[in-house]
Structure 1
Amino acid sequence: MSQAGAIIITGAAGNLGAAVADILARDGAKLACIDRSPEKLEQLLASLPAGTEVLPLAGVDLTSQEACSIAVSQVTKRFGSVSALVNTVGGFQAGPVSKALEQWDAMLTANARTALAVSAAVLPVMQATRHGRIVHVAAMAGLKAPAGLAAYAASKAALIRLTEAIAEEYRGDGITANCVLPSVIDTPQNRAAMPKADTSSWVAPEAIARLIAFLISPAGGVVTGAAIPATGTGGNA
């Protein structure tokens, strides 16, 4: 991967974030790994290939543009520039529409405000180099809301619209913005929560990570403003 600057990964110690970090590290990328848990972040760093250039940033308030800007400044001080942002943070709550208002602020904050704050912080740095790749993790529910996920689906729809707006506004600056839309990611937590579910169509974090790696690669520069389903074929490939 011929990236001059660092790749920022938010939620880096989560299942998907860790898969992204592993794939990119094996390709020689310089990483800035953001996660709220110092302990899990330490475990992630220990799992990466020896020699990986990585800056761990624990406890960054991703709801605050100011906090995100400080984190980005730390990244540029260490690596000089930022070539990509992979934002995997988010939240999930389910419930009927009659309860959606109770979940509304939490879902919009976890899934849309965080994405806006970190994007707004990193975009000026990318503008300065006239290069950048941004990938947000939305969800298929952002395209069509299933029953019981009103607030969650609305927040993911907001994230898709935000991504589209970034793509259009910064197209002339050499910056792309896309989002991937998983259905159910095959994680230990999801298997524990849904022990009787048919997991054959669930998608492995590593498979989604490979898609993200393509989108932030030089070859992925042809794609911008896209909402790309990552729902698998039943083979979990």
Structure 2
Amino acid sequence: MVTGAAGNLGRAITTRLAGEGVNLVCVDRTTDALAALVQSLPSEAKVLTFAGADLSDPAVAQAMAEAAVDSFGGIDGLVNTVGGFATGPVDGDTLGQWDLMMNLNARVALVTSIAVLPVMQAARYGRIVHIAAAPGLKAGANQAAYAASKAAVLRLTESIALEHRGNRITANCILPGTIDTPQNRAAMPDAKVPDWVLPDSIARLIAFLISPEAAVVTGAAIPATGLE
């Protein structure tokens, strides 16, 4: 299951996994973008889609998990790329930003994890990967809400890893550097783009983390900042 599947990183992940013959549950809030993604995948790819889903709603996430089990017999992996970014000083406007970041980043990670974990527990196998961020380890100025929400993702992931190690379920976080996307290029026209990380580079890392070969890696916050 890949959430935010039609985004820049989600698209790279689903494209790589589809090429490896993985059955996919693709979730995204944007119907047209999700349809375009599916159209771009190999014709033989087996894909179940959910568009317009509010992943902060436990009932929605539970329904998606049940549909995935009905279609594919189980859920081996969850890659959650849903999230948001907002900055600002700690002042009278922070509470609204705090609620937004906690909902988009922390709550979605929690709700999606809760939805898939019983299926993984029953199978005694599973892989969970969330996208965190370096400010979750140490915040900078104007990052209070965003950093706190990403710190919550890190702590959630660590807890899942320890709670479910005996069930052969791993949980890890990726801490990406600046990802080379059209949106980031437009927002930072003077930046050193060659120093940015390609979405497919992160997708390859995630493909490893959800594979059987990554069984010994769990509870980690893995930086994805290097260059190829």
Same fold (TM over 0.5): yes
Residue 222 of structure 1 and its aligned partner are, at CA, apart by: 1.0
1:97 Cα shift? 2.2
Match of 1:74 among 38, 63, 67: 67
Residue aligning to 1:105? 99
1:42 pairs with 32, 35, 56, which one? 35
Give the Cα–Cα distance (whole angstroms) in 2 for the partners of residues 54 and 192 of structure 1: 32
Whole-angstrom CA distance in 2 between matches of 1:232 and 1:94: 25
Query: For 1:125 and 1:179, how far apart are their aligned partners in 2?
Result: 20
CA distance in structure 1 between the aligned counterparts of 2:172 and 2:48, rounded to whole angstroms: 24
Identity rate of aligned residues, in percent? 59
**Is 1:28 the counterpart of 2:21 in the alignment?**
yes
* Rounded Cα–Cα distance in structure 1 between residues aligned with 2:177 and 2:95: 24
Deviations 1:75-100 (A, max 9, x none): 11000101000000000101122243
CA RMSD of aligned residues (A): 0.9
Structure 2: which 5+ runs fail to align? Answer: none
Residue equivalent to 1:231: 225
Q: Does 1:185 align with 2:171?
A: no
Per the alignment, residue 11 of structure 1 pairs with 4
Contact 1:60 1:71 in 2 (8 A): no
**Alignment length, in residue pairs?**
227
5 Å matches for 1:78-97? 78-97=71-90
Taking the TM superposition and a 5 Å limit, the aligned residue runs for 1:30-179 are 30-98=23-91, 99-179=93-173
Q: TM-score, normalised by structure 2?
A: 0.97
Q: 1:148 Cα shift?
A: 1.7
TM-score (norm 1): 0.94
Residues 183 and 230 in structure 1, CA contact (< 8 A), matched pair in contact too: yes
Gaps (5+ residues) in structure 1?
1-7
Partner of 1:44: helix, strand, or coil?
helix
One-letter code aligned to 1:85:
L
